[in-house]
Amino acid sequence: MISWFKEKLQRKIVDHWKIPLELIPKLFLYSLIISLIDVLLIFLFSWGIDTFAYTLSIFMLIEGGLGLIFGSFISAYSPSVAKLNEILFHSEPWNFAKQKEIEKRMRIVLITGFLLIIEALFVSAL
């Protein structure tokens, strides 16, 4: 009985983390694309290279922080906003499947924001 419960719990943990672990290379690529856009913008609008790493790390920290804030805000408050839409605009009712879909989408935003913050810490260490 205990081994069955342990196996079921372990399978549930593996299934829960399987999707984010498969997405990490793709999300790392997203964060690198955002970083490259930042590098291009800094080169276009800066006059010197002396503050390049500082400016790049600040931009990446801000973008990563905004990703974390908006991702968590949208996934946490989407049922409240949907209920308000349902009452005010008579839209279709909110259900659990929609909440899970939004949580999956916001997981991508959250992990990308986290990766941007990690990259910013590496750039600031240069």
**CB-based contact 104:52 (threshold 8 Å):** no
Domain assignments of the chain as residue spans, ordered by start: 2-124
Rounded Cα gap, residues 83 and 70, in angstroms: 19
Residue type (1 letter), 20: P
| Cβ atoms within 10 Å, residue 27 | 20
Residue by residue, pLDDT tens for the chain (126 residues) are: 566 556 665 666 555 555 666 777 888 888 888 888 888 888 888 766 777 888 888 888 888 888 888 888 887 777 777 777 777 777 777 777 877 788 778 888 888 888 888 888 888 887
Of 102, 120, 22, give the one whose Cα is nearest residue 64: 120
**CB-based contact 120:60 (threshold 8 Å):** yes
